[in-house]
Structure 1
Amino acid sequence: MATWSTKPSLIAAAIVVLGLSCSAGVAHGRRHGRSFVSSYDEPCKEMRLYLHDIIYDYSNSTSNSTSAAATKPTALSTAVADPGYFFGEMVVFNDPVTEGTALPPSLNETAAVRAQGMYFYDRKEAPNAWFSFSLVFNSTAHGHGTINLMGADLMSEKTRDISVVGGTGDFFMTRGIATLSTDEASAGLEYFRLKMDIKLYECYV
Protein backbone atom coordinates (compact mmCIF):
# COMPACT_ATOMS: atom_id res chain seq x y z
CA MET A 1 0.00 0.00 0.00
CA ALA A 2 2.82 2.41 0.87
CA THR A 3 4.40 1.93 -2.56
CA TRP A 4 1.21 2.70 -4.46
CA SER A 5 0.36 5.72 -2.27
CA THR A 6 3.62 7.50 -3.07
CA LYS A 7 3.20 7.39 -6.85
CA PRO A 8 0.35 9.93 -7.07
CA SER A 9 2.38 12.24 -4.81
CA LEU A 10 5.42 12.00 -7.07
CA ILE A 11 3.32 12.66 -10.16
CA ALA A 12 1.65 15.65 -8.50
CA ALA A 13 5.03 17.04 -7.46
CA ALA A 14 6.38 16.69 -11.01
CA ILE A 15 3.35 18.54 -12.40
CA VAL A 16 3.83 21.36 -9.89
CA VAL A 17 7.55 21.71 -10.72
CA LEU A 18 6.81 21.72 -14.45
CA GLY A 19 4.13 24.34 -13.98
CA LEU A 20 6.47 26.56 -11.96
CA SER A 21 9.17 26.24 -14.63
CA CYS A 22 6.78 27.28 -17.37
CA SER A 23 5.49 30.20 -15.30
CA ALA A 24 9.04 31.36 -14.61
CA GLY A 25 9.85 31.26 -18.31
CA VAL A 26 6.86 33.45 -19.14
CA ALA A 27 7.60 35.83 -16.26
CA HIS A 28 11.15 36.38 -17.49
CA GLY A 29 10.10 37.25 -21.01
CA ARG A 30 10.74 33.98 -22.83
CA ARG A 31 8.65 33.54 -25.92
CA HIS A 32 7.17 30.29 -27.13
CA GLY A 33 9.24 28.74 -29.90
CA ARG A 34 12.55 30.39 -28.99
CA SER A 35 15.57 28.11 -28.94
CA PHE A 36 18.83 28.46 -27.06
CA VAL A 37 22.01 28.82 -29.15
CA SER A 38 25.42 28.47 -27.50
CA SER A 39 28.82 28.37 -29.19
CA TYR A 40 32.23 29.48 -28.02
CA ASP A 41 33.73 29.27 -31.52
CA GLU A 42 31.36 31.51 -33.44
CA PRO A 43 29.14 34.25 -31.98
CA CYS A 44 25.41 33.88 -32.44
CA LYS A 45 25.06 37.66 -32.83
CA GLU A 46 27.48 40.52 -33.51
CA MET A 47 27.10 44.30 -33.52
CA ARG A 48 29.29 47.39 -33.60
CA LEU A 49 28.04 50.41 -31.68
CA TYR A 50 29.46 53.76 -30.55
CA LEU A 51 28.86 55.21 -27.10
CA HIS A 52 29.01 59.01 -26.73
CA ASP A 53 29.66 60.44 -23.24
CA ILE A 54 29.50 64.18 -22.52
CA ILE A 55 30.14 64.96 -18.86
CA TYR A 56 28.67 68.09 -17.28
CA ASP A 57 31.51 70.30 -15.99
CA TYR A 58 29.59 73.54 -15.21
CA SER A 59 30.74 75.17 -18.45
CA ASN A 60 28.68 73.18 -20.94
CA SER A 61 24.96 73.03 -21.56
CA THR A 62 22.87 70.88 -19.22
CA SER A 63 20.68 69.83 -22.15
CA ASN A 64 23.71 68.55 -24.10
CA SER A 65 25.33 66.77 -21.15
CA THR A 66 24.73 63.03 -20.84
CA SER A 67 26.69 62.24 -17.66
CA ALA A 68 27.60 63.79 -14.33
CA ALA A 69 30.02 63.11 -11.51
CA ALA A 70 28.22 61.78 -8.44
CA THR A 71 31.11 62.04 -5.97
CA LYS A 72 33.41 64.71 -4.54
CA PRO A 73 37.22 64.49 -4.36
CA THR A 74 38.70 62.91 -1.26
CA ALA A 75 41.95 64.00 0.38
CA LEU A 76 43.78 61.09 -1.29
CA SER A 77 42.43 61.83 -4.74
CA THR A 78 43.27 65.53 -4.44
CA ALA A 79 46.83 64.66 -3.51
CA VAL A 80 47.56 62.15 -6.28
CA ALA A 81 45.17 62.62 -9.21
CA ASP A 82 45.78 64.51 -12.43
CA PRO A 83 43.52 67.47 -13.22
CA GLY A 84 40.24 66.59 -14.91
CA TYR A 85 39.51 63.37 -13.00
CA PHE A 86 40.21 61.94 -9.58
CA PHE A 87 40.71 58.58 -7.91
CA GLY A 88 37.33 57.35 -6.68
CA GLU A 89 35.27 59.62 -8.92
CA MET A 90 32.01 57.97 -9.93
CA VAL A 91 30.10 59.15 -13.00
CA VAL A 92 26.47 58.27 -13.72
CA PHE A 93 25.52 58.35 -17.40
CA ASN A 94 22.62 58.05 -19.80
CA ASP A 95 24.50 58.16 -23.10
CA PRO A 96 23.26 57.97 -26.68
CA VAL A 97 24.57 55.00 -28.66
CA THR A 98 24.85 55.04 -32.44
CA GLU A 99 25.78 52.69 -35.29
CA GLY A 100 28.05 55.34 -36.85
CA THR A 101 30.61 57.67 -35.30
CA ALA A 102 28.60 60.88 -35.68
CA LEU A 103 27.09 62.34 -32.53
CA PRO A 104 23.29 62.32 -32.95
CA PRO A 105 21.72 65.75 -33.51
CA SER A 106 19.37 65.21 -30.59
CA LEU A 107 20.66 63.87 -27.28
CA ASN A 108 17.24 63.38 -25.70
CA GLU A 109 16.28 60.21 -23.90
CA THR A 110 14.23 58.72 -26.74
CA ALA A 111 17.19 57.47 -28.79
CA ALA A 112 16.83 53.96 -30.23
CA VAL A 113 19.78 52.71 -28.14
CA ARG A 114 21.07 54.19 -24.91
CA ALA A 115 23.78 53.21 -22.43
CA GLN A 116 22.65 53.70 -18.84
CA GLY A 117 24.87 53.03 -15.85
CA MET A 118 28.02 54.24 -14.18
CA TYR A 119 31.80 54.18 -14.28
CA PHE A 120 34.37 55.11 -11.68
CA TYR A 121 38.08 55.85 -11.78
CA ASP A 122 40.05 53.26 -9.79
CA ARG A 123 43.69 54.15 -10.40
CA LYS A 124 45.60 56.88 -8.58
CA GLU A 125 48.29 57.81 -11.07
CA ALA A 126 46.37 57.86 -14.38
CA PRO A 127 42.82 57.47 -15.67
CA ASN A 128 41.53 53.91 -15.42
CA ALA A 129 37.85 53.04 -15.13
CA TRP A 130 35.45 50.28 -14.18
CA PHE A 131 32.12 50.12 -16.03
CA SER A 132 28.71 48.73 -15.18
CA PHE A 133 25.87 49.60 -17.53
CA SER A 134 22.94 48.42 -19.63
CA LEU A 135 22.40 48.95 -23.33
CA VAL A 136 18.71 49.74 -23.64
CA PHE A 137 17.30 48.91 -27.09
CA ASN A 138 14.09 50.25 -28.61
CA SER A 139 14.45 49.82 -32.36
CA THR A 140 13.43 47.57 -35.23
CA ALA A 141 17.08 47.22 -36.28
CA HIS A 142 18.35 45.68 -33.04
CA GLY A 143 15.18 44.73 -31.18
CA HIS A 144 13.85 45.59 -27.75
CA GLY A 145 15.27 44.83 -24.35
CA THR A 146 18.62 45.25 -22.63
CA ILE A 147 22.16 43.90 -22.72
CA ASN A 148 24.00 44.19 -19.41
CA LEU A 149 27.78 44.75 -19.39
CA MET A 150 30.43 45.15 -16.72
CA GLY A 151 34.20 45.04 -16.29
CA ALA A 152 37.49 46.92 -16.13
CA ASP A 153 38.14 49.53 -18.82
CA LEU A 154 41.96 49.49 -18.92
CA MET A 155 42.24 52.86 -20.62
CA SER A 156 45.96 52.60 -21.37
CA GLU A 157 45.28 49.59 -23.62
CA LYS A 158 44.26 50.07 -27.24
CA THR A 159 41.47 47.51 -26.87
CA ARG A 160 39.98 45.94 -23.75
CA ASP A 161 37.27 43.39 -23.12
CA ILE A 162 34.38 43.59 -20.71
CA SER A 163 31.77 40.92 -20.03
CA VAL A 164 28.21 40.71 -21.31
CA VAL A 165 26.59 39.19 -18.23
CA GLY A 166 22.94 38.95 -19.24
CA GLY A 167 20.01 40.55 -20.97
CA THR A 168 16.26 40.94 -21.19
CA GLY A 169 13.60 40.99 -23.90
CA ASP A 170 15.04 40.09 -27.31
CA PHE A 171 18.39 39.52 -25.55
CA PHE A 172 17.01 37.27 -22.81
CA MET A 173 19.81 35.64 -20.77
CA THR A 174 22.47 36.47 -23.37
CA ARG A 175 26.18 36.30 -22.60
CA GLY A 176 29.34 37.29 -24.44
CA ILE A 177 32.15 39.82 -24.75
CA ALA A 178 32.27 43.51 -25.68
CA THR A 179 35.61 44.78 -26.97
CA LEU A 180 36.04 48.49 -26.24
CA SER A 181 38.37 50.98 -27.86
CA THR A 182 38.57 54.74 -27.45
CA ASP A 183 37.56 56.16 -30.81
CA GLU A 184 37.84 59.82 -29.79
CA ALA A 185 38.43 61.73 -26.55
CA SER A 186 38.96 65.33 -25.49
CA ALA A 187 42.06 66.23 -23.47
CA GLY A 188 40.21 66.36 -20.16
CA LEU A 189 37.79 63.53 -20.98
CA GLU A 190 34.82 65.92 -21.02
CA TYR A 191 33.80 64.03 -24.16
CA PHE A 192 34.74 60.56 -25.29
CA ARG A 193 33.44 58.09 -27.84
CA LEU A 194 33.86 54.37 -27.30
CA LYS A 195 33.69 51.84 -30.09
CA MET A 196 32.03 48.66 -28.85
CA ASP A 197 32.38 45.44 -30.83
CA ILE A 198 29.87 43.14 -29.16
CA LYS A 199 29.92 39.38 -29.71
CA LEU A 200 27.22 37.28 -28.09
CA TYR A 201 27.93 33.59 -27.61
CA GLU A 202 24.72 32.58 -25.82
CA CYS A 203 21.45 33.68 -27.41
CA TYR A 204 17.78 32.79 -27.45
CA VAL A 205 16.63 33.04 -31.07
Structure 2
Amino acid sequence: MRELAEKSCFIFFLILLSFQSVLASQKSFRQPKPCKHLELYYHDILFDGTDAANATSAKAANQTALGNFKFGMLVVFDDPVTKDNHLLSPPVGRAQGFYFYNKKNDYNAWFAFTLVFNSTENKGTINIMGADLMAEESRDLSVVGGTGDFFMTRGIATIKTDIFQGAKYFRLKMDIKLYECY
Protein backbone atom coordinates (compact mmCIF):
# COMPACT_ATOMS: atom_id res chain seq x y z
CA MET A 1 0.00 0.00 0.00
CA ARG A 2 2.83 2.39 0.89
CA GLU A 3 4.51 1.61 -2.45
CA LEU A 4 1.28 2.47 -4.29
CA ALA A 5 1.02 5.79 -2.43
CA GLU A 6 4.65 6.65 -3.28
CA LYS A 7 4.06 5.86 -6.96
CA SER A 8 0.86 7.94 -6.94
CA CYS A 9 2.69 10.91 -5.35
CA PHE A 10 5.49 10.59 -7.91
CA ILE A 11 3.02 10.47 -10.82
CA PHE A 12 1.11 13.44 -9.36
CA PHE A 13 4.42 15.34 -9.08
CA LEU A 14 5.27 14.59 -12.74
CA ILE A 15 1.82 15.72 -13.89
CA LEU A 16 2.11 18.92 -11.86
CA LEU A 17 5.59 19.57 -13.25
CA SER A 18 4.48 19.03 -16.87
CA PHE A 19 1.39 21.21 -16.34
CA GLN A 20 3.60 23.98 -14.97
CA SER A 21 5.96 23.75 -17.97
CA VAL A 22 2.98 23.91 -20.37
CA LEU A 23 1.76 27.08 -18.64
CA ALA A 24 5.24 28.59 -18.78
CA SER A 25 5.58 27.85 -22.49
CA GLN A 26 2.15 29.34 -23.25
CA LYS A 27 3.13 32.47 -21.37
CA SER A 28 6.25 32.98 -23.49
CA PHE A 29 4.26 32.82 -26.75
CA ARG A 30 2.00 35.71 -25.71
CA GLN A 31 2.82 38.97 -27.46
CA PRO A 32 3.13 41.78 -24.94
CA LYS A 33 1.03 44.86 -25.58
CA PRO A 34 2.99 48.02 -26.33
CA CYS A 35 2.99 50.63 -23.58
CA LYS A 36 3.14 53.39 -26.23
CA HIS A 37 2.31 53.39 -29.94
CA LEU A 38 3.17 56.10 -32.49
CA GLU A 39 2.43 56.32 -36.22
CA LEU A 40 4.60 58.92 -37.92
CA TYR A 41 5.88 59.90 -41.36
CA TYR A 42 9.52 60.63 -42.08
CA HIS A 43 10.24 62.93 -45.06
CA ASP A 44 13.70 63.00 -46.71
CA ILE A 45 14.68 65.52 -49.40
CA LEU A 46 18.21 64.79 -50.66
CA PHE A 47 20.29 67.81 -51.64
CA ASP A 48 20.99 67.59 -55.38
CA GLY A 49 23.28 70.60 -55.63
CA THR A 50 20.55 73.07 -56.57
CA ASP A 51 17.91 73.29 -53.80
CA ALA A 52 19.68 74.00 -50.50
CA ALA A 53 16.66 75.81 -49.03
CA ASN A 54 14.40 72.73 -49.16
CA ALA A 55 16.96 69.94 -48.73
CA THR A 56 16.85 67.99 -45.45
CA SER A 57 19.69 65.55 -46.19
CA ALA A 58 23.02 65.52 -47.99
CA LYS A 59 25.73 63.09 -49.06
CA ALA A 60 28.63 63.16 -46.61
CA ALA A 61 30.65 60.50 -48.46
CA ASN A 62 30.34 59.46 -52.09
CA GLN A 63 29.61 55.93 -53.20
CA THR A 64 32.49 53.63 -54.06
CA ALA A 65 33.19 52.08 -57.46
CA LEU A 66 32.04 48.67 -56.14
CA GLY A 67 28.72 47.89 -57.81
CA ASN A 68 25.91 50.08 -59.06
CA PHE A 69 23.89 50.35 -55.85
CA LYS A 70 25.46 53.38 -54.10
CA PHE A 71 27.64 51.07 -51.96
CA GLY A 72 29.52 53.16 -49.39
CA MET A 73 27.50 56.37 -49.83
CA LEU A 74 26.84 58.07 -46.47
CA VAL A 75 23.94 60.48 -46.07
CA VAL A 76 23.33 62.69 -43.02
CA PHE A 77 19.87 64.09 -42.39
CA ASP A 78 17.72 66.42 -40.34
CA ASP A 79 14.30 65.41 -41.64
CA PRO A 80 10.82 66.56 -40.58
CA VAL A 81 8.52 63.99 -38.99
CA THR A 82 4.75 64.48 -39.29
CA LYS A 83 1.60 62.73 -38.06
CA ASP A 84 0.24 62.41 -41.60
CA ASN A 85 1.82 61.83 -44.99
CA HIS A 86 1.81 65.50 -46.08
CA LEU A 87 5.27 67.05 -46.28
CA LEU A 88 3.91 70.51 -45.45
CA SER A 89 2.00 69.38 -42.32
CA PRO A 90 3.34 70.82 -39.07
CA PRO A 91 6.22 68.63 -37.89
CA VAL A 92 5.85 66.86 -34.53
CA GLY A 93 9.60 66.27 -34.43
CA ARG A 94 12.80 65.81 -36.41
CA ALA A 95 14.68 62.67 -37.45
CA GLN A 96 18.38 63.43 -37.10
CA GLY A 97 21.09 60.93 -38.00
CA PHE A 98 22.58 59.09 -40.94
CA TYR A 99 22.22 56.15 -43.28
CA PHE A 100 24.72 54.47 -45.53
CA TYR A 101 24.34 52.03 -48.39
CA ASN A 102 25.97 48.75 -47.41
CA LYS A 103 25.30 46.18 -50.12
CA LYS A 104 27.23 45.83 -53.38
CA ASN A 105 24.67 43.90 -55.42
CA ASP A 106 21.35 45.47 -54.38
CA TYR A 107 19.95 48.51 -52.58
CA ASN A 108 20.27 48.17 -48.83
CA ALA A 109 20.99 50.74 -46.13
CA TRP A 110 21.76 50.92 -42.43
CA PHE A 111 20.08 53.66 -40.37
CA ALA A 112 20.98 55.25 -37.03
CA PHE A 113 18.93 58.24 -35.98
CA THR A 114 17.21 60.05 -33.16
CA LEU A 115 13.62 61.24 -33.28
CA VAL A 116 13.67 64.58 -31.48
CA PHE A 117 10.30 65.73 -30.11
CA ASN A 118 9.54 69.17 -28.73
CA SER A 119 5.78 69.59 -28.89
CA THR A 120 2.92 69.86 -26.43
CA GLU A 121 2.23 66.14 -26.95
CA ASN A 122 5.75 64.70 -26.55
CA LYS A 123 9.10 65.94 -25.28
CA GLY A 124 12.31 63.97 -25.50
CA THR A 125 13.98 61.61 -27.94
CA ILE A 126 13.71 58.07 -29.32
CA ASN A 127 16.88 56.40 -30.64
CA ILE A 128 16.42 54.01 -33.59
CA MET A 129 18.91 51.89 -35.52
CA GLY A 130 19.08 48.91 -37.84
CA ALA A 131 19.14 47.53 -41.36
CA ASP A 132 16.77 48.91 -43.97
CA LEU A 133 16.31 45.94 -46.29
CA MET A 134 14.80 48.03 -49.08
CA ALA A 135 13.53 45.06 -51.12
CA GLU A 136 11.19 44.09 -48.26
CA GLU A 137 7.74 45.67 -48.02
CA SER A 138 8.22 46.42 -44.33
CA ARG A 139 11.35 46.47 -42.22
CA ASP A 140 11.90 46.44 -38.46
CA LEU A 141 14.44 48.71 -36.83
CA SER A 142 15.31 48.54 -33.14
CA VAL A 143 14.29 51.23 -30.70
CA VAL A 144 17.32 51.25 -28.42
CA GLY A 145 16.62 54.04 -25.95
CA GLY A 146 15.34 57.51 -25.39
CA THR A 147 15.06 60.52 -23.13
CA GLY A 148 12.31 62.69 -21.63
CA ASP A 149 8.86 61.15 -22.17
CA PHE A 150 10.67 58.16 -23.72
CA PHE A 151 13.31 57.63 -21.00
CA MET A 152 15.20 54.35 -21.57
CA THR A 153 12.48 53.03 -23.87
CA ARG A 154 12.83 49.87 -25.97
CA GLY A 155 10.74 48.60 -28.87
CA ILE A 156 10.37 48.16 -32.62
CA ALA A 157 9.96 50.72 -35.39
CA THR A 158 8.37 49.07 -38.43
CA ILE A 159 8.99 51.17 -41.52
CA LYS A 160 7.39 51.02 -44.96
CA THR A 161 8.30 53.10 -47.97
CA ASP A 162 5.23 55.26 -48.48
CA ILE A 163 6.53 57.07 -51.58
CA PHE A 164 9.80 57.19 -53.49
CA GLN A 165 10.50 59.86 -56.10
CA GLY A 166 13.84 58.97 -57.60
CA ALA A 167 16.94 59.98 -55.67
CA LYS A 168 15.42 63.31 -54.60
CA TYR A 169 12.57 62.51 -52.14
CA PHE A 170 11.23 59.58 -50.16
CA ARG A 171 8.73 59.22 -47.35
CA LEU A 172 8.65 56.41 -44.82
CA LYS A 173 5.69 55.43 -42.68
CA MET A 174 6.93 54.53 -39.21
CA ASP A 175 4.83 52.34 -36.90
CA ILE A 176 6.63 52.59 -33.56
CA LYS A 177 5.67 50.22 -30.76
CA LEU A 178 7.38 50.75 -27.44
CA TYR A 179 7.45 47.83 -24.99
CA GLU A 180 9.51 49.35 -22.18
CA CYS A 181 8.22 52.68 -20.92
CA TYR A 182 9.28 54.35 -17.68
**TM-score in terms of structure 2 length:** 0.80
Give structure 2 stretches of 5+ with no counterpart.
Answer: 1-29
> Does 2:39 correspond to 1:48?
yes
- The partner residue of 2:55 within 57, 65, 89 is 65
The structure with the largest alpha-carbon Rg is 2
Per-residue deviation at 1:46?
Answer: 0.2
TM-score by length of 1: 0.71
Aligned to 2:158: 179
Q: State the shift of 1:112 in Å.
A: 3.3
Residues 136 and 121 (structure 1), Cα distance of their counterparts in 2 relative to 1, 3 Å cut: same
Contact 2:96 2:114 in 1 (8 A): yes
Q: In structure 1, what is the Cα distance between the partners aligned to 2:31 and 2:117?
A: 25
After superposition, the Cα gap between the structure-2 partners of 1:105 and 1:203, relative to the gap in structure 1 and judged at 3 Å, is closer
Quick one: higher RCO (CA 8 Å, sep 6+), 1 or 2? 1
Residue number among 170, 189, 198 corresponding to 2:149 in the alignment: 170
- Deviation per residue, 1:90-125 (Å, 9 max, x gap): 00000000000000268xxxx430000000001112
Q: Secondary structure at the match of 1:70?
A: strand
Q: CA RMSD in A?
A: 1.6
In structure 1, stretches of 5+ residues that fail to align are: 1-38
1:43 counterpart letter in structure 2: P
Q: CA deviation at 1:161?
A: 0.3
* 2:68 corresponds to: 81
- Structure-2 change in CA distance of 1:40 and 1:173 (3 Å): farther
CA distance in 2, matches of 1:105, 1:112: 9
TM superposition shift of 1:81: 1.1
Equivalent position of 2:127 in the other structure: 148
1:145-166 C-alpha deviation (Å, 9 max, x unpaired)? 0000000000000001000000
